[in-house]
Amino acid sequence: MSQKKTLIVDDSTVTRLMIRKIILDKYPDWEILEASSADDAKSLLTDHQDIDFFTLDQNMPGNLSGLDLAEDLKKNYKNTKVILITANIQDAIKNRAKLIGIDFVEKPVTAEKIISHLD
């Protein structure tokens, strides 16, 4: 498989490391970028527009939630896979993710929960 570029957005360093490991175990040639907030992710995207896959946390510090960022991303990355990986499992969050057109994954992060979204 060709090299792809992923952006992992989560305020938890441990979660970012876990997601990174899961992705690189399956696709060792993928490039991984990381951001600790939606605001940081938006700044990072000014220099990296060619993202193939996004993982987003819902609750992060800053002005934007994961779903707010997802709405912005879907405007500019219409065909790019976006998944919300969160411990916030309220129906309102799940429903908004579905309306935006992104996948919802409940924490804790495991390879089984993530791998199916990479293919």
Confidence band, pLDDT 50/70/90 cuts, at residue 119: confident
pTM for the complete prediction? 0.94
Answer yes or no: are the C-beta atoms of 57 and 66 closer than 8 Å.
yes
pLDDT attached to residue 2: 64
Out of 27-31, 74-78, 94-98, 103-107, pick the least confident. Answer: 74-78
Residue for token pair 């495991």: 110
What is the percent of the chain where pLDDT is above 70? 98
Among 9, 50, 58, CA closest to 31: 50
Average pLDDT, the chain: 94
Between residues 78 and 114, the one the model is more confident about: 114
Domains of the chain: 5-61+82-111 (3.40.50.2300)
